[in-house]
Structure 1
Amino acid sequence: MAKVEMYTKGYCPFCVRAKHLLDKLDVAYREIPIDGDSELRQHMISLTGGHTVPQIVINEQPIGGCDDLYALHAAGKLEPMLEA
């Protein structure tokens, strides 16, 4: 199974939506809250290039945010990534 990490903030509707899809697909993921942690936020930015949350990383490959996750799923590309 794939290693999935998601950088989030406490109340973020896009984070909730992304977690919902991963839960629906029965995907285990590590949630990394960045609330109030500027060092962790900087790490997220340097790792993913993204400044907004969620930032999702699958098998050490940044895939972007919630919309990117749903687009991969709609295109049939998410499940193969998760099986790798």
Structure 2
Amino acid sequence: MNNVSNPINAKDIPAFVLNFLITIKTSINNYTVAMTETSNPHLRRALRDQLDVAVYLHGELSELLMEKGLILDKQLQIDSLLSCREL
């Protein structure tokens, strides 16, 4: 019988996914800094390609998390904060 236990508890999945999102964001910052510090055009092009992939992945993961209701988009966060202040 193939009864493999899942090492990730269901309640930990959002934290795990949000940690991945933060890691991607950190990578974007690191690629940007590295691009500004290199003078090699081939290396700069490779870093830009990696940056493009990281930005795309961050966008896709953010959209998925918003669809699943795990994170709110920025405007909804702002609106929620403003409505709380009015109470």
Highest Rg: 1 or 2?
Answer: 2
Question: When the two structures are superposed, what TM-score results if normalisation uses the length of structure 2?
Answer: 0.30
Question: Which structure has the highest helix share of the two?
Answer: 2
More strand by share: 1
